[in-house]
Structure 1
């Protein structure tokens, strides 16, 4: 279980929280109406808004992902005894990759219904392959600070599972974008449940 005697990592957490907040803000900024001059009546307005459903879908998917990443990040830092230099650099690498989520989200929403959607989906899933590697690096450094218990072994297994699943989702996106997104959503659901024992002590 998390070490209750760990030192204050407030600066590390504050920096990371700021990055997550900026990423979510950038995701919301992509929700621009982009209406044409023909939207002069209510029916046309609603039709044009509804036609932008790929943008809304990509936003909800990425917002949910970043939210889960933030909750997960908050949970694993409970295991940190000290924010030493390797941990700071590993966390910085994770934040670097996290800031790219709005870019791949915008790419996905713009190409979701186009023939290029498969490549956009592969790039979207491929970013999460890298993010998963960064999470595993940070987690491994935190584990080295003390002897891992049963809960930490379970978390390690779940984190390592993300790499092959995201890798498969990246390749599958070239043939079936919906299946690729479903695989990604499955990992997000797993990690949502994964953090409950850490936060709730169950």
Structure 2
């Protein structure tokens, strides 16, 4: 199998995830602005999750450019990532529906943590295809964002029962850290092509 086939499959799954999330936003019963205000928590949880799925889509695209040889390990790790991300619509809907109650907010953090771990496993498996002194390995070696994110997710999970809005702050903080696409892979690929 070629990597573009796995990328196309992943793109389709991520598109379905976003579609499922938006379908959870139901049309309000009222016909004025206050009816929309009642949807605030649902829309906020949707917006944050949309950004997260977009971040994963963007970084996943860049990550797959590093694949030299497709193998079963990469396919299963990619499926693990997609499985974790497929839980985002459920946790998003529950968190929004509950107006950010403690347990749904903690579950949302757990889902994001699992997605981060599965992404890191996929990234490490792809890095194993490159020599330790290669431009790709050098570019991905100091992954500060990848090391900080799980700590922030664990903090968000822990604070969900103290104050769910503090947890949400950490979710938004991680999204803000990752919002600007990681340029290290692009630079390394350009350097390798020269």
Do Structure 1 and Structure 2 share a fold, with TM-score over 0.5?
A: yes
Q: Of the candidates 14, 23, 42, which is equivalent to residue 20 of structure 1? A: 14
Q: Of the candidates 45, 53, 77, which is equivalent to residue 32 of structure 2? A: 45
Aligned counterparts, 1:1-202, within 5 A: 8-35=2-29, 39=30, 45-112=32-99, 117-148=101-132, 149-155=137-143, 157-193=144-180, 195-199=182-186
In the alignment, the residues of structure 1 paired with residue 168 and residue 122 of structure 2 have an alpha-carbon distance, to the nearest angstrom, of 25
Q: With the length of structure 1 as denominator, give the TM-score of the two structures.
A: 0.85
Q: Which runs of 5+ in 2 are unaligned?
A: none
Which whole-Å deviations, capped at 9, do the CAs of 1:168-189 have from their partners, x for residues lacking one?
Answer: 1111111111111111211112
Q: Give the structure with higher Rg (CA).
A: 1
Q: Please say which of residues 119-128 and 186-195 is displaced more in the overlay.
A: 186-195
**1:22: Cα distance to partner?**
0.2
Q: Which runs of 5+ in 1 are unaligned?
A: 1-6
In the alignment, the residues of structure 2 paired with residue 147 and residue 178 of structure 1 have an alpha-carbon distance, to the nearest angstrom, of 44
Q: With the length of structure 2 as denominator, give the TM-score of the two structures.
A: 0.88
Asked whether the 8 Å contact 1:136–1:160 carries over to 2, the reply is no
**1:150: Cα distance to partner?**
2.5
**1:45: Cα distance to partner?**
2.5
Query: How many pairs were matched up?
Result: 185
